[in-house]
Amino acid sequence: MAYLSSLNKYKDFGLLVIRIGLGAMFIYHGYPKLIGGKEMWIGLGSSTKYVGITFLPMIWGLLAAITETVGGVLIILGLGFRPACLLLLINLIVAAATHFGKGDGLDGAAHAIEDAVFFAGLFFIGPGKYSADKK
C-alpha cells in the first residue's frame, strides 16, 4: 500500500502514542497495588510461587507494584526505557504463569502474554526520538 508509506515519517510519534497508552495503563493498575499495603503486597508477591519462588512474598509483591507504577512512568517519559521494559516483561511472565497456575488457561493469561510480547518488542525498538533518553 504505497499510499500509506508516507506515514513512515511518523514512526517516532507512533512509539510515543504507544508509550503514553501503555505507561498510563500500567500506572492505573500498579498504583493501587503500590498503596495497597502489606496484605496487598503479600497477595501479589505470592504469585511468584508459580515460577518457583516461595520466599519473601511481601518483598516480591512490593517490587512488582513498584515495577508497574514506576515502570509506567518511565515508559511514558522514555527514561530508562529498556530496563523498564525488561522489568515489566518479567512482571508479565509471572502474571501469565499465575493465570496458568490457577487454571485460567490461555484465556486468562492472554492479556499478560500480549503485553509481555509488546514489551519484548519495545525492548529492541527503543523509545524513539521523543523521549528523555534521546541521544
Q: Give the domain ranges of the chain.
A: 12-125
Q: Grid coordinates standing for 63?
A: 517490587
Model pLDDT, residue 7:
80
Cα 31 vs. chain centroid, distance in angstroms?
Answer: 13
79 contact partners, CB below 8 Å, separation of at least 6: 131, 132, 133
Q: Grid coordinates standing for 57?
A: 512474598
SS3 116: helix
Name the nearest CA neighbour of 19 among 86, 96, 64, 71: 71
Model pLDDT, residue 5:
81
Model pLDDT, residue 106:
97
Model pLDDT, residue 8:
83
How many beta carbons lie within 10 A of that of residue 107, not counting itself? Answer: 8
Mean pLDDT of each 10-residue bin along the chain, 135 residues long: 79 96 98 97 96 96 98 97 98 97 96 98 96 81
Model pLDDT, residue 4:
79
Dihedral of CA atoms 103, 69, 15, 99 in degrees, nearest 10, equals: 0
